[in-house]
Amino acid sequence: MDVIIYHNPDCGTSRNTLAMIRNTGIEPHVIEYLQTPPTRLLLRQLIERMGVPVRDVIREKGTPYKELGLDNPSLTDDQLFDAMMAHPILINRPIVVSPNGVRLCRPSEAVLDLLPPPLGEFHKEDGEIVVDAHGRRAATA
């Protein structure tokens, strides 16, 4: 299975998502999107494939969201894309692409819907169990 993750190694959710992908035996194509941002067209296509509004993919925390006035509801999608192209940190992560779809994997467990069954137990960095020893999603996931 060919899987792509738009990844930020400084983000715990992104690291957990990457580890869950690898726990299925897949080595994904890892794109550190802050160093290699997607083109405007590609980002537009990813968001369309997710079936969510552009605003749902904009990250507020730790970004210039407020300073740029992106909380203004009258901004158009094109204006939001302009901001994300100028400031890739505004693109929320991780975005995962698989043959089963495209998803913003927040929470990280959302990636499990895009993948084959895990190979074994999986715990997040903080110790929370996501997949039990039998390969089943934990009740809290």
3-state secondary structure of 95: strand
- Measured over the CA atoms of residue 78, residue 34, residue 2 and residue 122, the dihedral's sign is negative
Cite the active site residues. Answer: 11
- Upper half-sphere CA count for residue 113 (Cβ side, 13 Å): 12
Residue 94: cis peptide before it, omega within 30 degrees of 0: yes
Q: How far is CA 63 from CA 12, 60, 71, 93, 141, in A?
A: 16, 6, 12, 13, 28
Report the C-alpha gap between 77 and 139 in whole angstroms.
Answer: 37
User: Amino acid identity of 62?
Assistant: G
